[in-house]
Each structure stands twice: as C-alpha cells, then as structure tokens.
Structure 1
Amino acid sequence: MKLKYIFIGSLLSAALSAQTQKDSIQHVEQINILVKKKLLERKADRLIFNVEASVASQGMDATETLANVPMLKVDENMGAISITGKSTVSVMINGRMLNLSGNALLNYLKSIRSENISKIEVITTPPSKYEAQGNSGIINIILKKNPNLGFSGNINSSLIQRTYSGISSSGSLNYQTEKFSSSLKLAYYDSAKRTDENYTIIGASQNYSNSIRRDMWKELTPTLNLSYKISKNAEIGLEYIYANQKSGMNIVNTTKNIASDLKEENLLTNTFHREKLPTHTLSAYYDLKLDTLGKKLSIAANFYKNNSDTEVNFSTLKSSDNSVQDVKTTSLISPQIFSVQADLELPFSFGTIETGMKFNQFKNSSDIQYFNLTAGQYVPDLLRANIFRYQEENYAGYVSFAKTFGEHWETKAGIRYENTHAQSSTPSSNSENKYNYGQWFPSAYVSYKEDKNVFSLSYSRRINRPSMSNLNPFRWYENPYSYSSGNPLLTPAYINNLELGYTFNNKFSASVYYLRMKNAFGQISYIDGLSQTSTYLNYYNNNSWGFNVSYTDTFFKFWEASISANASLQNSTVFNVDAETQKGSSFSYSVNNTFSLNKSKTLALFVNFSHSLPYRNVNSYFYAYPELTSGLKLSLMEKKLQINATVMNIFAQRYRGDMYFTDNVQHMNNYWDGRSFRLSLNYTFGSSKKKISKKNINFEEKERAE
C-alpha cells in the first residue's frame, strides 16, 4: 500500500513537473510574442530589424527578407544590395563578411531561409572594429543561435522562369553535441537570362552600340563548418568553402559609327565567352573567455584563392569592305588573399574597451593573351597581350570605448589606423607603380532613449579602395575596335558620413544624413574614330544631404504594411574629365503589403511596389524606375514546409540614363530580364532537443578580389 502511494505520488509529481514545464514554455512563448512586437530597434551605431517580428518576412529567402528592411534596396537586375539614397553596401553573416558580389552574392543569400534569421542590422556608419573599406555601410545578418542537438537539416529547391528557365537547389545537414558542432551544406545553381544593352555616344562623331546577350551560370558549392569546445572557456573552429563556378555569355553586338565627316561604318560581332572559376576559402578561429565577466580574446585567420580561366572568341564583320576578323583572347587570373586578426573585448564597471590588430595581404597575377586568326591559325598579338602583377599589404589596429549612462544614454567612440603598401607592375610595358599611405579612421556614436523615443547621432570615416579588376590595365575587347580596361594609377576614395537617427515605438524610423565623398572613381567611356573605349578614373568629389523615413505596422490583424521614402540633394565637382556637373536630387518610395488570407496565417498574399523618380547625380541623369512584385506564400506541416510563388518586375521596366560631358552626351537603355516567375519549396527537418551556440567567422576583405 505504501508503495502504491509512493507510486501515485511520483506520478502526481511528474504531472505537476510536466505542467510546470508546459506553463513555463507557454510563458516563454508569451514573452517571445511580446518581443516580436518590436519590429525596429535603434542602437548607438545601427538600426536593427527583427525578422521574427515581421509576418511579411516569413517563408522567404534572405534576399526577399532584406527587401522588407527599411532603407534597404535589393536590385536583382543589377545584382546589388544598397542603402536607399546611398551606394552599395557590404554584407556580413553574424559578423563574417561574405565578400561576394553580383549574382554570386544573391545566390548565396537565396540559400538562407528567413526562418533561420533572427535580425538584420543596418550599420550606416560602421565602428572602428570593422574594416574601413567600403563606400557606404554594412548589413549584418544575424542568424538564430543554438541549433538543435542531434541531426537537423534543410532542403530547398526553386524554379525561376525568365526568358530562359533556371533552377537552384540547396541542402544542409547539421549534427550537434554539447561540445562538437558540424554542418555540411551543398548548393547548386543553373540559370540564364537575356540581356538587351544599348549605349550611345553623341559628339563630333557618333557611336551606337546594341548587345543582345544570353548570360549563363552554373555553380556547385559545398561548405563545411566544424567547431569544438576544448573547455568551458575555449573553442576552436573552421569553415571551408569550395565553389565550382562556370559562366558563359553568347553575345550579338551591332555597332554603328558615324565619323565627323559623316562617313558611316557598321560592325556585327558574335562573341562566345566561357569562364571557369574554382574558388577556395578557408577560415579558422580560436575564442577564449578570460573570465566570467565577459572578457574575451578572439583570433582568426582566413585564406582565399581562385583561378579564373577564361576564353573569349569573337568574329567581327565590317560592312565597308565585308571583311571578317576572328579573334581569341585567353586569360588566367589568380587573386589570393590572406588575413589574420586578433580582437580583445574587455568589459569593466566603467565601460567596455575593444581593441585589436589585423594584417591583410592581397596578391593578384593575371596573364592575358590576344590572338588573331590568320590562314586558319591563331597568331599571338603581343602588343595587345598583358601580364599584370599586384600586391598589397595592409596593417591595421583599432581601439574603442563604450559606456552607458543610466537607462537613457549609450555612447561609443573609437579610432582605427590602417597603413597600406601596394605595388603593381606590367612587365610587357616595363611599368611599375608603388604607393604607401597611412590613414586614421575615427568613429563616434551616442544614443538617447526615453520611453518610446530613441535618438542617435553617429559619425565615421571610411575608405573605398579599387578592386583588382579596376586596377588591371588589360583591354577587355568587345570587338577589335572597342574595349574596356582598368587603371593601375587609381587611388582610393575617402568618405565622411554623419547621421542623425530617430525611432518611435519600434515602428517609425527616420534619419537625416550628410555624406562627403572625396577622390571618388568610376568608369568613363570615350569615342575615338571606330573605337569606343572605357576605363576607370578618379574624377569627382560629392556632397550629399538626405533623409530616410519608414513606418511598419499591422492593421486589422491581417494586413502588415511597410512604407518608406528617401530624398537627397547632391553637389559635385569633377576633375580629370571635361564634364558638366549639375545639382543633383533624388526621391524614391516603396510600399510593401502582406495580407494573411486565413486565421492561422499559413496563407498570405504580398504586393510590393517601389518607385524611383528621375534623379541627377554628378554629371548623370537617370530616368524613373517603377517596379511591382506580387506573390503567394503557403506554410504547411506546422511551417516545416514553405511554398512561395512570386512574379517580379511585372512591368518589365528598363534602366535608362544619360551622362553629360563637355564634348559629348552618352545614353544607356538596358533591360536585364527583370520580369520573372519564381516557385520555391523549402522543407526543414530534424531534432528539437536542447540547443547550443554556433560561431561565425569574419573575413571582410575577400570582395576586393572581384
């Protein structure tokens, strides 16, 4: 009998324990629900968008999620992510720089699901801890921590229909224990699009160029992540990424040239372009907690290398004499990057000190050959061949101090010093360039919070160094007469950014900014007889004043809307070119709507519209660009299965602009197959046991290999 009571008592105890645990879980869920109401958070040095708080951002990939963030713009036509009113930004995952660009960046982000994203930080004035490289700011995507113990995984597949069909698939398999963490990810892309580009130069002579192009790319990318907790306070880990990329272009170009004496020449060029680009990225880290108060030492090393092997064949028919010129160019380009850094975080009762050092080394070797087809044989043209060598070393150190004053004030200030040694050489022309420079990059932030109001003031100085392709003087020919090239004499641009921000009730956000860019560079085109050429030059300084404003809220429990707008004024001066600058201005707005079509919110309709009005900048004028996107989202199996159908750029808008110079005017009118239909399915599986944390690795400088 006694045993019976003991048994019954044990059952009651277990039941009460289970109920208590259930109540605790429900309480945590209630707390999470309350937290989710905070869509936006303003910190001293960044604006935070909580993805989990946004119904519109559920069941999407990372590119679609970024498009829902105030101030951010994702342009799949241009392959760029930017802060509205400013220029392209860098993208990090948990503080680790992706250093990808164009379609490679967008494809990587498409493999990340919004369900795995906790929040997105928009850092318009990056603190001194981060690389000073970059002309605008940083987007930091924070993934959810503590992946489940045991096995878990994800499978995603998408079909995209433009002019041509394409597919993308990715899968990940994770295994976690209390000390060991591993993740294996495999992504595959096979897609194509049709491009229609038109470029006209009108001056004393005239040049009209039209290219109809089929862009194709395939990529198979396995990624391996491993980490191990050596002890309670120490952890090591590594990440290896191998990307086997193949791309190609089939181009039909027609060029009409009208000389100053009105003599007309027409060229018809067929181009066959193929590239193999295997890349290797290896990153490793060691983290050590120095005490229980949060003091921490982090050491990381990164290595990146690719070997681009490209062959281009083009055949040009010249109308004046019906002659045909067949040409082949080959290129072997091998950029290599190594970096090592150490960061020390020291929280004290009087504030938090962060300090660290970093060393980067860039190397690039390119061997590009030019061949004319003569009597059935390819004969080298040594005058058009090129060997280019580039090496850059960058030494950096930083220190910052952060302190909070009561419940209202948060401050942070820091300074970074970077010293750069660079040299480039072109053996074929016996030319060599060397330059050394050291620069200070200060940053400062202060924020004030009172009830539902948060004010912030931030400042930072940054540098925009030319990429390796910007520096390479080799001529990339479109036909035997027209080409583009880099410029080994390019020097960095410097940026000063001052911003005043405000948020109200975690829904409304506004900011006013001033941006000063000095010694900026860009691509400039010229016409010389039959030849249309372009190169990169440092040629302008730019002052920009602007504001961003956004409001996100839920109406009638089923409609989530986000409205944002940006306006700016620019004042520019130019040098090294003869151009007519004019006061610039811009205005753009967007309205994103998500409608839940059932009570369980598993079926939703979204309709997003954005509109950039005509704007001027430096010596350029860009036409209006409206864009409408709509689709359906369906969640099944307790949200483990997500199905999305999306139609993008429904109006099939073209990108048009003009550039004004003293002796000519240049026009562009391009369409990059923007209208598309995408159908995607994502399935998540795995254990739901206790969770542990996962480390992400920082490799900020790889993007300059592009």
Structure 2
Amino acid sequence: MRKVFLLIVLIVFILSNALIAQIKISGKVVTLEDRPLEYSEVILFSEKNIPLVNRLTNEQGEFNIDYQKGIYKLEIRQFKQVVYTKSIELISDIQLGTITVDATNVLGAVVISGRKELVERKVDRVVFNIENTISATGGDALEALKITPGVSVRNENINIVGKQSVRVLIDDKMLELSEADLANFLRSIPADNIKNIEVITTPPAKYDAAGGSGLINIKLKKAQADSWSLSLGSSYLHRNDEDEGAITSNFMYNKNKLSLSSSLNYRDGGETFSYQDYNSFPAELWNTKQRFNRGYKRLNGVLDMQYLATPLWTLGFQYIANFNKTSSNRNTKSLVYQHNANVPFNEIISLTTADQKPEFNSINLFNEFKLDSAGKKIILNLDYFKYTNDDTRPYEGTSV
C-alpha cells in the first residue's frame, strides 16, 4: 500500500512539473537593412488578448521568453507601434530565427545623436530617456507613458506588463491618487518637462510598502550646472469637435550651491467620444449608442529647490500643485428589439452629467547625508499631502 501511495505521489509530481514547465521562445529582430532592432518590446498575449510577459530586445536585436504551454499571440512593438504579430502554440522550445520588420517610420521619430542611449537597462529597472525623442514633443506625461517600453495605458488605467498593480512617482515621491485623478494630473505635465521615465519591476527595499507592485518613476528636468534658462510656450490643437489651447512656462537655475527649477502650465480644451455596441440576450437584443463630451481646465505648478550645504549634506524643498475642473455629459440611447424584429419595442434614453474639481497640494522637505564615496546615504523626508475633490453627478433617464 505504501508503494502504491509513493507511486501516485511521484506521478502527480511529474505531471504537475510537466504542466508548469517553462518553454523558451527566442529570436532576433532586424530592420529591412538587416540591422539589429534594439529596445523593441516583445509581448506575449493570452488568447483573450491579455499581456502576460514583456521583454526588450538587446543590442543585437535578440530576445528570449520563458513561459508555460498554451496558445498565445506574440507581438513586437517599436515605441508602441506594432511591427510584427504571430499566433504561436507552445509545446516545446521555439526558435523564430531572424524576424525582419519595417520600422522606418518609427525610428524616424527618435533622436539619439550625441546623447544617452534611448533605453538603458539596469538591474531592477528600465530607463526610458524620453528627452532624446521628438515623438513626445507637444504631448503630456500620460502620452509619454504610452510610448514607454513595458508600460501599458488603456483609457485611464496605467499598468506594467506582467504586474498586478503599479504605483507612480514624481522625482522619487509617491503619488497617492486614484486612477482617474492620476490620469488628469499626468495630462497636466508637458512631456517636454520630463527627463526620463524609470520602469521599476523590482522595487528597492525603501518601497517595501508598495508590495509586489511595479513602480513608474517620472524624473523631471533639472538645470545644468552653472546655468539658467527661461522658456515660454503656447500650443493650439484642433480636433473635429473640440479644440485645446495650452500655455507653458519653465524657469531653471543652477549656480554655486543653489539649484532651482519651476514650471507653470495651463490647458483648456475638450474632447468627444462616440461608442456603439450590441448585446444579445435570450429574449431580446440591445443596440446602445453613447456620445461622451468632456471639457477641462488644468493648472499645474512645480517648484523644486536644492541647496548643497556641504559636500556631504544636501537639503531641499519641492512643492507640487494641481487644479482641475472637468465638466462632462454622456448621452446614452438604447434600442431594445425582439429577435428577428426590425422595429424596437422599447427605447431607453439617459443623460448623465458630471462636474468634478479635483485638486491637491504636495510639499516635501528632505535632507540627504552622504556617508561615503561608495554611494551610501541617509535621506530624511517630511511630506505633506492634501487632496480634495468636489464631485457632482446628476442622472436623468426615461423609458418609452
């Protein structure tokens, strides 16, 4: 009896290992000119189009993905533009060989000459030096995240591929905002003010409170040593239904022991979306049409000061203010049909409006003490954060 039990345990162990065994997918991505395409995203999707694994190609354009048996979709993207897609069934290791893609239009939007590499790999993170691209020029921080390798942005949801949740930081300071408010805040930051974006898949010990989530750290530009600059700008965007105007200002100063950077940005505009969907039920069919209009006013200000008291002691101050006013309305019309009928027997009309005024003020005081030349240091932070949101959502509906 004991031998039978041990045999059953052995069989179960072998079968479980076989089911979760990791299978390798490998390949090499090159351009039409046979040049390695580095820093491309290679993403494995489930049959339900859910991203499961994300890898970046190396300097030789090579990639490796380890995953379990199943049917998937493999997609290769260069700055969020899909350049290759293939359905694959993982049974045993797959060598895709050399994959030739046309990335001419994508690479044309990248400027790297004489600067840092566009994407840097570190032990626990990937650094996207967005200041080296022109594709984000005129955009905002949320649009910058859309082209950041390893980051997925759908509507107002920000994710790191392969992570259950994500937290966003500005200059190493955590933002405690809801998804919608975070998206509104990021829309108020011009992409031109961003130096780089760090995608941290293995958070360091000081972020233990973030649990198993990934981190996105947005680093704002600072003044170069022994310099100062002032820039003023404006932009106008015309859409079919709504327009947007923006005014931006930036001041940077770095001389002697004092470093200062500040920005004030204002956007005023709107956007319109239309949706239509069909839902089939056992007794009836619903045809729903929606039109969503949103107008917004966004004011964002940042003040950052650092003073080098001694070669080993730096003290600083950062203030971030964000004020939003959003007015929206959603018109929904649902026609309800019986199956095989051309005339609806019911019509449901609803109007939802919303007036939101989210705003927050964030203040950070910090002291940084360097302990040695190896990089060890002690950082003392004092943070103040105040958030309010006046949210009104009246609803009106009729059924005829």
Match of 1:90 among 153, 164, 167: 167
Q: Which residue is equivalent to 1:48? A: 127
Deviation at 1:246, TM superposition (A): 0.7
Q: Which residue is equivalent to 2:229? A: 152
Match of 2:184 among 85, 88, 104: 104
Moved more, 135-144 or 217-226: 135-144
Whether the aligned pair in 2 keeps the contact of 1:268 and 1:317 (CA below 8 Å) is yes
CA–CA separation in structure 2 for the residues paired with 1:219 and 1:34: 35
CA–CA separation in structure 2 for the residues paired with 1:288 and 1:57: 38
**Cα deviations by residue, 1:496-544 (Å, 9 ceiling, x for unpaired):** xxxxxxxxxxxxxxxxxxxxxxxxxxxxxxxxxxxxxxxxxxxxxxxxx
Q: Which residue is equivalent to 1:267? A: 348
Task: Flag the 1:274–1:60 CA change in 2: closer, same or farther, 3 A.
Answer: closer
Task: Flag the 1:105–1:243 CA change in 2: closer, same or farther, 3 A.
Answer: closer
Match of 1:217 among 274, 277, 296: 296
Whether the aligned pair in 1 keeps the contact of 2:325 and 2:357 (CA below 8 Å) is yes
Task: Flag the 1:128–1:242 CA change in 2: closer, same or farther, 3 A.
Answer: same
Deviation at 1:245, TM superposition (A): 1.3
Spell out the pairing of 1:303-702 with structure 2 (5 A cutoff): 303-319=384-400
Match of 1:296 among 364, 377, 382: 377
Q: Which residue is equivalent to 1:175? A: 253
Task: Flag the 1:148–1:274 CA change in 2: closer, same or farther, 3 A.
Answer: same
Secondary structure at 2:273's aligned position in 1? strand
1:235 paired with 2:314, answer yes
- Scaled by the length of structure 2, the TM-score of the pair is 0.58
**Cα deviations by residue, 1:249-307 (Å, 9 ceiling, x for unpaired):** 122222345799x9944222233321222322222212122344433111113222222
Task: Flag the 1:64–1:208 CA change in 2: closer, same or farther, 3 A.
Answer: closer
Deviation at 1:173, TM superposition (A): 1.9
The CA RMSD over aligned residues, in Å, is 3.7
Higher strand share: 1
Q: Which amino acid aligns with 1:160?
A: L
**Cα deviations by residue, 1:561-613 (Å, 9 ceiling, x for unpaired):** xxxxxxxxxxxxxxxxxxxxxxxxxxxxxxxxxxxxxxxxxxxxxxxxxxxxx
**Cα deviations by residue, 1:649-684 (Å, 9 ceiling, x for unpaired):** xxxxxxxxxxxxxxxxxxxxxxxxxxxxxxxxxxxx
Q: Which amino acid aligns with 2:394?
A: N
Percent of paired sites with the same residue: 28
Gaps of 5+ in 2: 1-111
Match of 2:281 among 196, 203, 211: 203
Secondary structure at 1:307's aligned position in 2? strand
1:121 paired with 2:201, answer no
**Cα deviations by residue, 1:210-247 (Å, 9 ceiling, x for unpaired):** 32121111112232223333333222222222222111
Q: Which residue is equivalent to 1:189? A: 267
Whether the aligned pair in 2 keeps the contact of 1:56 and 1:68 (CA below 8 Å) is no
**Cα deviations by residue, 1:45-73 (Å, 9 ceiling, x for unpaired):** 22334456x56558565555545543344
Q: Which amino acid aligns with 1:223?
A: V
Secondary structure at 2:205's aligned position in 1? coil
Gaps of 5+ in 1: 1-31, 320-706
Task: Flag the 1:68–1:246 CA change in 2: closer, same or farther, 3 A.
Answer: closer
Task: Flag the 1:269–1:145 CA change in 2: closer, same or farther, 3 A.
Answer: closer
CA–CA separation in structure 2 for the residues paired with 1:172 and 1:306: 25
**Cα deviations by residue, 1:85-133 (Å, 9 ceiling, x for unpaired):** 7677433344233455454144144x1317x52x443322333332553
CA–CA separation in structure 2 for the residues paired with 1:81 and 1:292: 37
Spell out the pairing of 1:247-258 with structure 2 (5 A cutoff): 247-256=326-335
CA–CA separation in structure 2 for the residues paired with 1:175 and 1:204: 68
1:287 paired with 2:368, answer yes
Q: Which amino acid aligns with 1:212?
A: R
Q: Which amino acid aligns with 2:361?
A: H
Whether the aligned pair in 2 keeps the contact of 1:254 and 1:267 (CA below 8 Å) is yes
Whether the aligned pair in 1 keeps the contact of 2:222 and 2:261 (CA below 8 Å) is no
- Scaled by the length of structure 1, the TM-score of the pair is 0.35
Task: Flag the 1:83–1:158 CA change in 2: closer, same or farther, 3 A.
Answer: farther
Q: Which amino acid aligns with 2:184?
A: A
Task: Flag the 1:87–1:212 CA change in 2: closer, same or farther, 3 A.
Answer: farther
CA–CA separation in structure 1 for the residues paired with 2:170 and 2:221: 11
CA–CA separation in structure 1 for the residues paired with 2:148 and 2:385: 31
Whether the aligned pair in 2 keeps the contact of 1:152 and 1:174 (CA below 8 Å) is yes
Q: Which residue is equivalent to 2:80? A: none
CA–CA separation in structure 1 for the residues paired with 2:353 and 2:188: 27
Whether the aligned pair in 1 keeps the contact of 2:136 and 2:143 (CA below 8 Å) is no
CA–CA separation in structure 1 for the residues paired with 2:150 and 2:354: 37
Q: Which amino acid aligns with 2:266?
A: Y
Task: Flag the 1:254–1:51 CA change in 2: closer, same or farther, 3 A.
Answer: closer
CA–CA separation in structure 2 for the residues paired with 1:309 and 1:69: 32
Task: Flag the 1:127–1:254 CA change in 2: closer, same or farther, 3 A.
Answer: same
Higher relative contact order (CA 8 A, sep 6+): 1
Q: Which amino acid aligns with 1:90?
A: R
Secondary structure at 1:126's aligned position in 2? coil
Task: Flag the 1:39–1:282 CA change in 2: closer, same or farther, 3 A.
Answer: closer
Match of 1:161 among 212, 225, 238: 238
CA–CA separation in structure 2 for the residues paired with 1:249 and 1:64: 21
Deviation at 1:196, TM superposition (A): 1.9
Deviation at 1:195, TM superposition (A): 1.8
Larger Rg: 1
**Cα deviations by residue, 1:286-345 (Å, 9 ceiling, x for unpaired):** 2122344433111113222222223333333331xxxxxxxxxxxxxxxxxxxxxxxxxx
Q: How many residues align?
A: 280
Task: Flag the 1:186–1:146 CA change in 2: closer, same or farther, 3 A.
Answer: closer
Match of 1:139 among 202, 216, 222: 216
Deviation at 1:164, TM superposition (A): 0.7
Q: Which amino acid aligns with 2:392?
A: E
